[in-house]
């Protein structure tokens, strides 16, 4: 109540008016080069954190979707092989291991050539366009 208002009034009287406030740094205290230069116009705005930048967030979202689809496909193929085709766990493991060998060869020998010719961005877009129909073609 009243005591709160009186404390506020005391604080208000203790603080200087706008006209009495001095600038944080007097121009006489600055070196001549800074006094003459337009420092404020060259000061960069506060940069956003790298993890808030749109390209980073977009690439992480695409990576998350891609990883989800890849893992889902691996698991669905294993379940399909077990339930429908009657493969044993050893046969499914062998098939998964051998299916990784062509991927390793592709990463080591083909992909670097494609990236050199198309650039990283176009190569990844092309790979996404090729992989999507191939993944949909799997029964």
Six token digits for residue 25 = 């740094």
Structural element, H or E, at residue 77: helix 54-83
Residue 105 is predicted with a pLDDT of: 92
Give the pLDDT band (50/70/90) at residue 59: confident
Of 79 and 48, the one with more pLDDT = 79
> Mean pLDDT, to the nearest integer, of 99-124?
89
To the nearest 5 percent, what fractions of the chain are helix, strand and coil? 75, 0, 25
Average pLDDT over residues 12-41: 56
Res 108: pLDDT? 94
Cα–Cα separations (whole angstroms), residue 18 to 13, 21, 56: 12, 5, 44
Task: Give CA–CA dist 119/115, Å, rounded.
Answer: 5
Percentage of the residues of the chain whose pLDDT score is greater than 70: 65
pTM of the model: 0.44
Mean per-residue pLDDT, 59-85 = 85
């Amino acid at each position: 109540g009243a005591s709160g208002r009186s404390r506020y009034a005391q604080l208000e009287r203790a603080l200087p008016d706008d006209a009495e406030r001095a600038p944080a740094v007097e121009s006489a205290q600055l070196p001549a080069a800074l006094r003459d230069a337009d420092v404020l116009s060259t000061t960069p705005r506060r940069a956003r954190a790298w993890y808030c930048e749109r390209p980073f967030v977009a690439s992480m979202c695409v990576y998350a979707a891609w990883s989800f689809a890849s893992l889902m496909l691996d698991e669905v193929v294993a379940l399909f092989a077990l339930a429908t085709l009657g493969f044993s766990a050893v046969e499914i493991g062998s098939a998964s291991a051998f299916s990784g060998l062509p991927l390793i060869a592709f990463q080591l020998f083909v992909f670097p050539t494609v990236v050199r010719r198309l650039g990283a961005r176009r190569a990844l877009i092309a790979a996404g366009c090729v992989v999507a129909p191939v993944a949909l073609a799997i029964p």
